[in-house]
């Protein structure tokens, strides 16, 4: 399929370069975010736009800790030994040290799956964001899947979170289970990973979508929903921590945020299926940035947040003035999210009055104006400058 890129595509490439630079400086490096000199207020103040590889994103931080432990193989070891680590990392990595000698592929797959279907520990209003409401803090004494299931069944606290992420529609609890998630993790997930592991090992490396189709078929066979969003993250974990079983350059799946982003980046020239269009844009991104599709998909999600000036109000970000803190994107008439022209045109009195991020058409719908009207007003506003 042929495509034509839009005004958003050069901005995507610029964002990718900024995020890649900050990944080196701040995420993997020791430079404080406020001293990163990105010339972008959002990148310097919100610890979300600092990654172009999923393995280093907030929702994967604790997985690095449990997988590598307090050990030189940890990708953040240079920060850890120099004291540039959080209390959470110190606690988890220390407790999980040595698990490489205990766990095999099946056990690690269970850990990955549990983490993803429970919400990936994400809370974008806190720093660090990837350690929220997670049971992984307390699974380190376990030596098997059965041990982990026992903890799941008796855990006294909540370990599910949809704060910035989401968990799937679990099966209706039965057989004494109070929560559908506990039922799935105890009765379904162990069987799934024990069947998946030998299939992954057998034969050649598997494409990412091959693994996905295997998982979706397994769920259907067991009368479960597809869990596409959560299983996609699970598949990416396999690619990150067991790359010997996966073709990392193969096509991936697209979440709703990524689909929205890609629809801005380019337009199809001619007819074709949506997935074919999305794949073609991903191939262009891979050509221009070197980002494999499963990493680029996550960058797309962050890019659209960057364009819409996403800051989740909360304890660690409430001090920020959301009437003055803007990303450096140059799409002046983007109609969604939190935009500077919305203030200047009087469509909203102050973003600081909101206790949520104004996603989608939050502002325009309340101002009773259309996208076309907004774009025309922005054009007139900037024509006088």
Q: What digits encode the pLDDT tens for the residues 211-236? A: 999 999 999 999 999 999 999 999 99
How do residues 16-39 score in pLDDT, each as one tens digit?
Answer: 999 999 999 999 999 999 999 999
The pLDDT of residue 241 is above 70: yes
Q: What is the mean pLDDT of residues 237-254?
A: 98
Specify the pairing of strand 246-247 against strand 2-5.
unpaired
> How far apart are the C-alpha atoms of 227 and 215, rounded to whole Å?
9
Q: What is the pTM of this model?
A: 0.96
Lowest mean pLDDT among 79-93, 118-132, 299-313, 344-358: 118-132
Confidence (pLDDT) at 187 = 97
Mean pLDDT, all residues of the chain: 96
Give the pLDDT score at 164: 66
Contact (Cβ atoms closer than 8 angstroms) between residue 140 and residue 98? no
Answer for the pair 159, 135: CB distance below 8 angstroms, yes or no. Answer: yes
The alpha carbon of 139 is separated from its chain's Cα centroid by a whole number of angstroms, namely 23
Q: Token digits for 219? A: 């769920």
Q: Supply the pLDDT for residue 362.
A: 97
Which of 41-50, 202-211, 308-317, 324-333 is predicted least confidently? Answer: 308-317
Among the ranges given (101-105, 247-251, 310-314), the one the predictor scored with the smallest mean pLDDT: 310-314
Whether residue 384 is predicted with pLDDT greater than 90 in this model: the reply is no
Which range, of 168-177, 238-247, 320-329, averages the lowest pLDDT? 168-177
Compute the distance between CA of residue 83 and CA of residue 366 in angstroms, rounded to an integer.
Answer: 48
Tell me the β-bridge partners of 266.
5
Give per-residue pLDDT as tens, 140-161: 999 999 999 999 999 999 899 8
The answer to whether residues 65 and 55 touch, using CB atoms and an 8 Å cutoff, is: no
- Cα–Cα distance measured from residue 337 to residue 306, given in angstroms and rounded to the nearest whole number: 10
pLDDT in the model for residue 163 = 75
pLDDT at residue 316, as a whole number: 92
Render the burial of 305-341: b for 16+ CB within 10 Å, e for the rest: bbbbbbbbbbebbeebebeebebebeeebbbbbbbeb
Q: Taking residues 150-177, report their average pLDDT.
A: 89
Q: By the 8 A CB rule, do 219 and 262 touch?
A: no
């Amino acid at each position: 399929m042929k495509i034509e890129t839009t005004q958003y595509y050069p901005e995507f490439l610029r964002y990718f370069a900024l995020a890649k630079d900050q990944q080196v400086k701040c995420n993997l490096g020791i430079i404080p975010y406020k001293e990163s000199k990105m010339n972008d207020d959002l990148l310097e103040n919100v610890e979300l736009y600092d990654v172009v590889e999923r393995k280093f994103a907030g929702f994967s931080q604790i997985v690095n800790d449990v997988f590598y432990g307090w050990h030189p193989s940890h990708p953040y070891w240079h920060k850890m030994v120099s004291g540039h680590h959080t209390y959470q990392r110190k606690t988890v990595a220390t407790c999980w040290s040595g698990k490489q000698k205990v766990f095999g592929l099946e056990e690690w797959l269970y850990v990955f799956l549990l983490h993803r279907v429970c919400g990936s520990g994400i809370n974008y209003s806190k720093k660090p964001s990837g350690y929220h409401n997670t049971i992984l803090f307390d699974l380190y004494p376990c030596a098997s899947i059965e041990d982990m299931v026992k903890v799941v069944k008796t855990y006294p606290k909540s370990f599910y979170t949809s704060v910035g992420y989401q968990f799937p529609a679990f099966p209706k609890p039965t057989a004494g289970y109070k929560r559908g998630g506990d039922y799935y993790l105890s009765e379904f997930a162990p069987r799934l990973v024990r069947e998946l592991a030998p299939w992954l090992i057998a034969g050649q490396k598997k494409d990412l979508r091959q693994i996905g189709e295997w998982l979706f078929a397994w769920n259907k066979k067991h009368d479960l929903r597809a869990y596409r969003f959560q299983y996609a993250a699970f598949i990416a974990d396999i690619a990150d921590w067991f790359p010997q079983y996966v073709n990392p350059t193969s096509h991936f799946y697209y979440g709703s945020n990524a689909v929205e982003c890609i629809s801005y980046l380019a337009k199809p020239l001619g007819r074709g299926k949506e997935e074919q269009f999305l794949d073609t844009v991903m191939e262009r991104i891979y050509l221009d940035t070197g980002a494999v599709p499963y990493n680029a998909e996550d960058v797309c999600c962050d890019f659209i947040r960057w364009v819409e000036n996403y800051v989740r109000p909360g304890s660690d970000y409430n001090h920020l003035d959301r009437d003055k803190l803007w990303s450096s994107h140059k799409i002046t008439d983007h109609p969604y999210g939190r935009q500077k022209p919305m203030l200047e045109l009087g469509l909203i009195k102050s973003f600081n009055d909101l206790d949520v991020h104004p996603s989608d058409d939050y502002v325009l719908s309340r101002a009773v104006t259309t996208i076309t009207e907004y774009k025309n007003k922005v054009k007139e506003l900037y024509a006088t400058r």
